[in-house]
Amino acid sequence: MLIMKDLNIVGNKVREFSLELLHEWVSSDSLRKHCYAVAAAMEEYAMKNKLPREEIDKWWICGLLHDFDYEKFPSMEKHPFEGVKILREKNYDEKIVNAIIGHGNHTGVKRESDMAKTLFAVDELCGLIMALAKVRPGNFDGMNANSVKKAMKKKDFAAAINREDIKQGIQELGVNEDEHFEIVIRALKICKKDLGFC
């Protein structure tokens, strides 16, 4: 078994292992793409923060696996707690585990690390930006912070996306709203083929 505490030694193998874990647990194409999007946003933030390569990998993995148990355990009582049990069994870094536990307000777990705050801040936003890209002729082309702000105000657009979580995430992370939106747009645009946009 691959031991996650050896992350900085095995590098890409841990990413491959994590992708295999996601695909093993998630069959829904839309949920897989959401996880890819959040992983991309987390990686973009890690690079912006000039973190070392092994930390960038951890941030990416955190985003990738934050919802990997949701398909099997969609209730608030079980998600993400069941997934976290699996991650601990597989020796994933406790920073990743704690960030995943805290990515929903229903868990009651305080977000203390930058990783945890960033995961919460990008999760719902990725959903909104993906939905916005689907209705734009050029998907991510020409999309900017103002595009996202307009979408945020339309309550009937992507109604399942929690706007209050997006606002709370920005506040907790202590970032400028426009910059935050631009960072996530850029991250998703870079990997748009993986997200189903040609």
Q: CA-CA distance, 148 to 89, in Å (whole number)?
A: 39
| 3-state SS assignment for residue 138 | coil
11-190 folds as Hypothetical protein af1432 (1.10.3210)
CA 190 to chain centre: 15
Buried b (16+ CB within 10 A) or exposed e, 17-29: bbbebbeebbeee
What pLDDT, on a 0 to 100 scale, did the predictor assign at position 47? 97
Burial of 90 (0-12, 13-18, 19+ CB in 10 A): middle
Low-confidence residues of the chain: pLDDT under 50: 1-10
Kindly state the tokens that stand for 138.
Answer: 């050029």
Report the alpha-carbon distance of residue 196 to residue 29 in Å, rounded.
Answer: 10
Given this model, what pLDDT does residue 133 score?
97
Three-state SS for 135?
helix
Structure tokens that stand for 57 in this block:
């990998």
Contact of 190 with 40, CB cutoff 8 Å: yes
pLDDT at position 11 is: 57
Residue 3 CB: number of other CB atoms within 10 A?
Answer: 12
Residues in the chain: 198
pLDDT tens-digit map of 59-82:
999 999 999 999 999 988 899 999
d(CA 36, CA 38): 6
pTM: 0.92
CA distance 55 to 47: 9
pLDDT in tens, 41-60: 999 999 999 999 999 999 99
pLDDT of residue 45: 98
Beta strands of 129-193 (E only): which ranges?
A: none
